[in-house]
Amino acid sequence: MTSAADFFAAKLAHETDPADLAAARAAGAGPVVVDVRSPQAWDQGHLPAAVHLPDVARAAEVLPDRDADLVVHCWGPGCNGSTKAALALVEQGYTRVRELIGGYEYWVREGFAVVTPEGRVRRSPDPLTAPVPD
């Protein structure tokens, strides 16, 4: 039986949240962000500098470094596309794969920048997901 400490340590090793991802990117140590949503969703908006990979079977073409630090996301907590994609990437030999908990939805709700057809935009943080700046 897995201990609670082992369970939570494993969970933290395989997930990150929007605030931690933003901090890593700001520090210049950011992972490669992999967006597995549809082309229509990508066109609606995506994280800056993300890689679009709606078909994980094409991963080797788009992500040649199997040791790269990858963070995979889809729409949000109601979507398991990132879980499926993370599993597929690991099965293809990628060694450092994590999921962005909350996905695109929580990245936007926490007030981080996205790229839309209008350019780079940022919404005010949702007070239910992030502190509202003074």
Name the pLDDT band for 98 (thresholds 50, 70, 90): very high
Q: Enter the pTM of the model.
A: 0.93
Structure tokens at 44: 């609606």
Three-state DSSP class for residue 11 = helix
Residue 74 has pLDDT above 90, yes or no: yes
Asked if 75 and 37 count as a contact pair (C-beta separation under 8 A), the reply is yes
**Whats the size of the chain, residue-wise?**
134
**pLDDT tens-digit readout, 16-52:** 999 999 999 999 988 999 999 999 999 999 999 999 9
The reported pLDDT for the residue numbered 132 is: 72
The catalytic site residues sit at: 74
The reported pLDDT for the residue numbered 42 is: 98
Q: Does the domain formed by 10-121 have CATH 2.30.30.90?
A: no
